[in-house]
Amino acid sequence: GDLPPLGSGGDLPPLGGDLSGGLPPLSGGPRAASPAQPAASLPDLPAMGAPAPLPGLPGLAAPAPLPGLDAPSGLPPLGGSSPVATAKPVARSKPMVARAKPAIVASNNTASVPAAASTTSPAALPGLPAPGGLPGLPDLGMSAPVSGVGLPTLPGLPTPGGLPSLDMGIGALDLNLGAPPPMGALPTLEVINPVRPATSFTSSTAARTAEDDFEAELPEPVRPYIKHRPLNPAEPKITITVSSPDGQQKVAVDCTSDWTVKELKDFVCDEKLDLWQSEFVELSAQAAEGLDHWLDLEKTLAQEGIQKTGHVLTLKVKWMKTPRKLVDDKVIHLYYLYAQQRVINGDWPCTRRLSLQLAALQAQITLGDYSPVKHPVGCLNDKIDLYFPAAIHSKEESSNLQRLLFVRHKNHGGMSGALAEREYLTLCRNLPAFGSEIFDVKTEDGQPSKLAVAEDGFGVLEGTKYRFVTFDSLRQWGPMEGGLTFTSMSRAGKKEVFKFLLGKYQVFAVLDLISGYYLFEKARHRDNIPDVQLPIQPKIPDPRLFEPAAKDVMRSGITREWSRLDAFKNAYLSACKDNDLKPAARVLRNVNRAIDDEVVLKKIDAHECELDATGLKALVHAMIESHSYKSTADESFDENLHFDTLDISNNLIALEGIPSLKELVHSDVPVKHLIMRRVGLGLKGAKELAPVLETNKCLVTIDMTGNGLKDAGLSVILKALKTNPNTHRYVMADNDLSDRSCLILGVMVQKNPVVTDLCIGQNSFRDSGMTQLLNGMKMTKRLRSLEVNDVGMGSSLSKALLTWLLAQTQLRILKIGSNSLGSPGSSALAKLLSSPNGLVVLDVESADVNAKALKAVFESLTSNKTMRELRIGGNKLDSKALPAFLNYLKTNQAVRKLAIGGMGLAKDTLSQTLEILANKSNLLSVDLSDTDMKTSARGLQNLIEKNSGMLELQLSKCNLTSAICTAICNGMEKNTTLRRLELDSNPMKTSLGTLSSLSKHRRLESLSLRATKIGCKELLPLCEALNSSRSLLVLDASDNKCEKELRKFQTEFSNLNFHVRFVSLDGAKKKK
The secondary structure of 394-415 as a DSSP string is TSS-HHHHHHHHHHHHHTTTT-
Distance CA 630, CA 621 (A): 16
Distance CA 406, CA 421 (A): 17
Residue 818 contacts by C-beta under 8 Å, 6 or more apart in sequence? 789, 790, 845, 846, 847
Round the average pLDDT of the chain to a whole number and report it. 79
Closest by CA position to 737, among listed 749, 726, 745: 745
Closest by CA position to 681, among listed 624, 631, 732: 732
The predicted pLDDT at position 115 comes to 38
Beta carbons of 699 and 671 less than 8 angstroms apart? yes
Strand duo 641-647 + 601-605: pairing: parallel
Strand duo 483-489 + 474-480: pairing: antiparallel
User: Is the pLDDT reported for residue 318 higher than 70?
Assistant: yes
Q: Is the peptide bond before 35 cis (omega within 30 degrees of 0)?
A: yes
* Tens of pLDDT, residues 1003-1057: 999 999 999 988 888 898 999 999 999 889 899 998 888 877 777 777 778 788 8
pTM: 0.60
The predicted pLDDT at position 557 comes to 55
Distance of CA 715 to the CA centre of its chain: 45
Q: What's the DSSP call for residue 842?
A: E
The predicted pLDDT at position 561 comes to 72
Strand duo 85-86 + 474-480: pairing: antiparallel
* Tens of pLDDT, residues 905-927: 999 999 999 999 999 989 999 99
Beta carbons of 581 and 611 less than 8 angstroms apart? no
Phi, psi torsion values for 857, nearest 5 degrees = -65, -50
User: Is the pLDDT reported for residue 991 higher than 90?
Assistant: no
Of 267-271, 529-533, 840-844, 912-916, the one with minimum mean pLDDT is 529-533
The predicted pLDDT at position 133 comes to 40
Q: Tell me what the mean pLDDT of segment 283-298 comes to.
A: 86
Of 498-502, 544-548, 555-559, the one with minimum mean pLDDT is 555-559
Q: Which residue has the higher pLDDT, 131 or 757?
A: 757
Closest by CA position to 791, among listed 770, 765, 814: 765
Of 156-170, 297-311, 428-442, 525-539, the one with minimum mean pLDDT is 156-170
Q: What's the DSSP call for residue 142?
A: S
User: Is the pLDDT reported for residue 687 higher than 70?
Assistant: yes
* Tens of pLDDT, residues 377-397: 989 999 999 999 998 899 888
Closest by CA position to 647, among listed 611, 614, 689, 618: 611
Beta carbons of 375 and 383 less than 8 angstroms apart? no
Distance CA 920, CA 503 (A): 67
Within 10 angstroms of residue 244's Cβ, the number of other Cβ atoms is: 17
Q: How many CA atoms lie within 13 A of 491 on its CB side?
A: 4
Distance CA 78, CA 415 (A): 49
Q: Cα angle at 461 between 460 and 462, to 5 degrees?
A: 110
Q: Categorize the per-residue pLDDT at 354 as very low, low, confident or very high, splitting at 50, 70 and 90.
A: confident
The predicted pLDDT at position 528 comes to 77
User: Is the pLDDT reported for residue 32 higher than 70?
Assistant: no
Q: Which residue has the higher pLDDT, 538 or 72?
A: 538
Q: Cα angle at 540 between 538 and 541, to 5 degrees?
A: 170
Q: In Å, how far are 188, 191, 246, 554, 640 from 350, measured between CA atoms?
A: 11, 6, 21, 12, 19
